[in-house]
Structure 1
Amino acid sequence: MDRKTKMLIYAAAAQWFINMIALVVQSRKRKRREAITYAPIDERDWMRREYFDNKIWKNDTICVNILRLGREPFFRFCQLFRDRNLLKDTIHLTVEQQVAMFLHTIGHNIRNRVIGTNFGRSGEVVSRYFKMILHAIGELRDDLIRKPSLETQTKIEGNYRWDPYFKDCIGAIDGTHVQASVTPDMEAAFCGRKTYATQNVMAAVDFDLRFTYVLAGWEGTAHDALVLRDALERENGLRVPQGNR
């Protein structure tokens, strides 16, 4: 091999080595690039606010039809989340908007895609905030579910129509069927008296219409007596004090 050929080989190797170093340096620069920061999307946010102002919060009738709550209790509900530091406003989504999407979903059994289309959000955003609000409501369980009072209600005590029959009563128990989403292999167990899959949910309320106990999860084919027995046998289940009904 002559001298000229060796020089060409050395030059090609050197060029290849320089190119590799350049690629490594460029790759490291890309990794160190500052993250993109997003500013509010003014036009889109304005359109979303218009939807809430004109379609949901326009009056109490529309608000109840869509959210199952009037405007005053709805905003008090949202303020409770703020006071307890359970939910916070984000750059594109206020607490009111988050809660409205949640209530609209459960109030009408609407699918994720429909909510995303109506409120101008992606499916991921709708799903993420649904889980956040569901957790926040769970944190209010001590406020929403009260222990039954053992005292005779003033509306019963001394009333000749109710006192002889309800003086020892602390509430009422009933069951209801709530639509459930289950896998195809479980549908037979959850399809009872309804044409669709349901859960047989048992609830107990006091005379002020406050929930004192809720048991969910039983299949739609389960008998009410079976659900009641399960509630009484659970370690932290339904407890009826002796002498009361």
Structure 2
Amino acid sequence: MDNSDEDNQNSSENSFNEMVTAAIAGGYVIVYMLQVPPQGNHVIRVPELTGRQWVDKLLSDDSRCFESCRMQPENLIRLHNILHDCYGLKGSREFESIEALAVFLWAYGTNQCQRQMHERFRRGMGTCSNVFSYVLAAMTKFADDVLRPRDTTYSVLPAELLEYTPFFDGCIGAMDETHIDVIVDQGVRDNHINRKGKTTQNMVAICDFNMRFTYIDVGTEGSTHDMHVKKKADDDASFSRPPSGRYYLVDPGYALRPGFLTPYPNKRYWVKEFQTRGLVTRRRCSTGTIPGCIMS
């Protein structure tokens, strides 16, 4: 009788243990079934670099630095030292000075907006705007000192003109204009539409024979004629006017004036003009009577 009771008790305990084991196993099965299956393109999150770490990587890679900031690492460091020592470029709690300069060059050189700056560097929109304006002010002061002739008297004939002497002994550079695409408010958009239908600014630049820019003027609406842009430059105190006996080479969009030499009319200059027969005149080109010859 006692043995029978003991067997029944052991059987009950075994049954209970089996039930517990089955319940635990069932729980594991349910948990596994509720898990989200792994996706085919699993994204591995990589910790983002801080702004300073990003700059350090740029400075260690010449090609990457040139693609992002449009200059070699040694030139970026040199520019930073000049702006820091002479033009008041200082760091802040949000940005170090070299980090702010690199971000400015990256945004300016690769056509990035402030929202992309905010997304890339995880800084506030207001902070990105303030940093860009702060570096731009320092760069503007730097440009005012750099964009000017080395010798305002032009007493030395450039080596590039020696083989053409004495025909271009008085030439000190070339002056031309170009259009830069811009985005402006709707209220002033019509004034910025050029003859090609694009919203632009008409800028003028002067370059010497050492391939150095000596003057740049920007901000004029795209619909403005080249001569009006030149008159605006004449009123600028930083404009380097040709001294007596010197002149700039300009295109036919400017008038022939003392100090500004335009191409001689009724002469061939461009390749397409040499592909036509007869004398090419400015009037025939402008009216389109000569195929392939269009003068701006």
How many residues matched?
198
Q: How does 1:156-167 map to 2 (within 5 A)?
A: 156=160, 159=162, 161-167=163-169
Structure 2 unaligned spans of 5+: 1-46, 248-296
Indicate which of 131, 145, 158 corresponds to 1:143. 145
Asked if 1:198 is matched to 2:200, the reply is yes
Is 1:177–1:198's contact at 8 Å kept on the other side of the alignment?
A: yes
Q: How does 1:99-118 map to 2 (within 5 A)?
A: 99-118=101-120
Structure 1 unaligned spans of 5+: 1-43
CA, structure 1 residues 200+235, in 2 after alignment: closer, same or farther (shift >3 Å)?
closer
Indicate which of 71, 79, 86 corresponds to 1:69. 71
Counterpart of 1:186 in structure 2 is: 188
CA, structure 1 residues 223+238, in 2 after alignment: closer, same or farther (shift >3 Å)?
farther
Provide the rounded CA distance (Å) in 2 between the counterparts of 1:183 and 1:64.
Answer: 33
Provide the rounded CA distance (Å) in 1 between the counterparts of 2:145 and 2:157.
Answer: 20
CA, structure 1 residues 48+231, in 2 after alignment: closer, same or farther (shift >3 Å)?
closer
CA, structure 1 residues 171+87, in 2 after alignment: closer, same or farther (shift >3 Å)?
same
Counterpart of 1:53 in structure 2 is: 56
Is 1:45–1:92's contact at 8 Å kept on the other side of the alignment?
A: no
Counterpart of 1:15 in structure 2 is: none
Indicate which of 152, 157, 164 corresponds to 1:153. 157
Indicate which of 214, 224, 227 corresponds to 2:226. 224
Provide the rounded CA distance (Å) in 1 between the counterparts of 2:157 and 2:182.
Answer: 36
Provide the rounded CA distance (Å) in 2 between the counterparts of 1:195 and 1:180.
Answer: 12
Provide, for residues 104-132 of structure 1, a one-character-per-residue CA deviation record: whole Å limited to 9, x for no partner.
Answer: 12112211000111122111111111111
Is 2:206–2:213's contact at 8 Å kept on the other side of the alignment?
A: yes
CA, structure 1 residues 122+221, in 2 after alignment: closer, same or farther (shift >3 Å)?
same
Between stretches 79-88 and 189-198, larger displacement belongs to: 189-198
Q: Say which structure, 1 or 2, has more relative contact order (CA 8 Å, 6+ apart).
A: 1
CA, structure 1 residues 196+154, in 2 after alignment: closer, same or farther (shift >3 Å)?
closer
Provide the rounded CA distance (Å) in 2 between the counterparts of 1:49 and 1:120.
Answer: 12
The offset of 1:136, in angstroms, is 0.9
Counterpart of 2:95 in structure 1 is: 93
Provide the rounded CA distance (Å) in 2 between the counterparts of 1:181 and 1:46.
Answer: 31
3-state SS of 2:67 partner? helix
**Structure whose alpha-carbon radius of gyration is higher:** 2
Backbone CA RMSD of aligned residues:
2.4
Q: TM-score, normalised by structure 2?
A: 0.60
Counterpart of 1:14 in structure 2 is: none
Between stretches 148-157 and 100-109, larger displacement belongs to: 148-157
The offset of 1:180, in angstroms, is 2.2
Q: How does 1:8-27 map to 2 (within 5 A)?
A: none
The offset of 1:197, in angstroms, is 1.6
Provide the rounded CA distance (Å) in 2 between the counterparts of 1:133 and 1:200.
Answer: 24
CA, structure 1 residues 241+85, in 2 after alignment: closer, same or farther (shift >3 Å)?
closer
Q: Amino acid of the residue matched to residue 52 of structure 2?
A: R
Q: Amino acid of the residue matched to residue 227 of structure 1?
A: V
